[in-house]
Amino acid sequence: MMRLYSKMRWLIFMALLGVLEALHCNKEFNYYDNYGNGFDITCQGLTREHIHLLANITITNEISLTIENATLTNISSAIFQNVHDLRFLRLENSTITFSKMKPIFDVLRLNRLKELILNNNKLEEFEPGSFQNVPNLSYLEVTRNRIHDMKTLPLCELQNLKGLNLSRNLITDLNQTHFYCRESDKTVDFNLNDDNYILDYIRHFLQTFDS
């Protein structure tokens, strides 16, 4: 009986150890041609109860942040309070919901963010104002989610956007897709399910082109 009890305790300990190993945030020092020396941060398995693992990171010249296999509900920009100089942000393979009272980029300006990747997170839409405080974002990738209508993306807030990928969502018909962005004269390269388009903010329509 004692031997069985000891074995159960050992199995529980090993299971807890496995959870702790899967739940972590690491930082790695690297060099970038465009940005010089900086840190890449990777977080695995975060939950709302363990978000302090990211919040407690204090570094300077953070370059990229990757969050994978996380379960985060009603999150806001507060999770980026110590990494607000990011150039690249990836949130992938997770269950994520954003606070409707405070869209994720509504409070904190990520002025230097250039690339945002939100893949396979069960996202359905974005609140107006979600992107208004990432003024220099040039590439947005939201693939393998549940977006059914491009009108649920406040794209007019991204005045410096150059590339957009919405592949493997629930978007099926682009014939009725129109945009109206005031005082905008730009076009955006747009990919949907391996088809390439030009999103024209002047004429407010999508024009296909050969890949």
Identify whether 11 is part of a domain. Answer: no
Q: Is the pLDDT of residue 17 over 50?
A: no
Q: For position 106, what pLDDT does the model report?
A: 57
Tokens of 180: 């109206």
Q: Over range 131-149, report the average pLDDT.
A: 91
The whole model's pTM is what? Answer: 0.80
Q: DSSP readout, 151-210?
A: GGS-GGG-TT--EEE--SSS----TT-----TT---EEEEEETTEEEEEETTTTEEEE--
- Residues with Cβ within 8 Å of 168's Cβ and at least 6 positions away in sequence, in order, are 143, 144, 145, 193
Identify whether 199 is part of a domain. Answer: no
Tokens of 16: 């807890």
Identify whether 185 is part of a domain. Answer: no
Domain tally for the chain?
1
Report how far residue 23's alpha carbon sits from residue 12's, in angstroms, rounded to the nearest whole number. 17
Q: Is the pLDDT of residue 108 over 70?
A: no
Identify whether 83 is part of a domain. Answer: yes
Report how far residue 187's alpha carbon sits from residue 37's, in angstroms, rounded to the nearest whole number. 33
Q: Which helix (H) or strand (E) holds 119?
A: strand 115-119
% pLDDT > 70, the chain: 72
Identify whether 120 is part of a domain. Answer: yes
Q: For position 64, what pLDDT does the model report?
A: 94
Of 79, 122, 73, the C-alpha closest to 98 is 73
Parallel, antiparallel or unpaired: strands 71-75 and 95-98 = parallel
Tokens of 179: 């945009």
Q: For position 206, what pLDDT does the model report?
A: 52
Q: pLDDT tens digits, residue range 41-62?
A: 999 998 888 888 887 777 778 8
Q: pLDDT tens digits, residue range 180-211?
A: 665 556 678 888 877 887 776 554 445 554 44
Q: In what order do the strands lie in the sheet with 62-68?
A: 24-32, 36-44, 62-68, 88-92, 115-119, 139-141, 163-165, 187-192, 195-200, 205-208
Identify whether 201 is part of a domain. Answer: no
Identify whether 4 is part of a domain. Answer: no
- The CATH number covering residue 65 comes to 3.80.10.10
Q: For position 13, what pLDDT does the model report?
A: 36
Identify whether 180 is part of a domain. Answer: no
Residue 117 and residue 93 in contact, taking contact as beta carbons nearer than 8 Å: no
Q: Which structural domain, as residue segments, surrounds residue 132?
A: 22-173
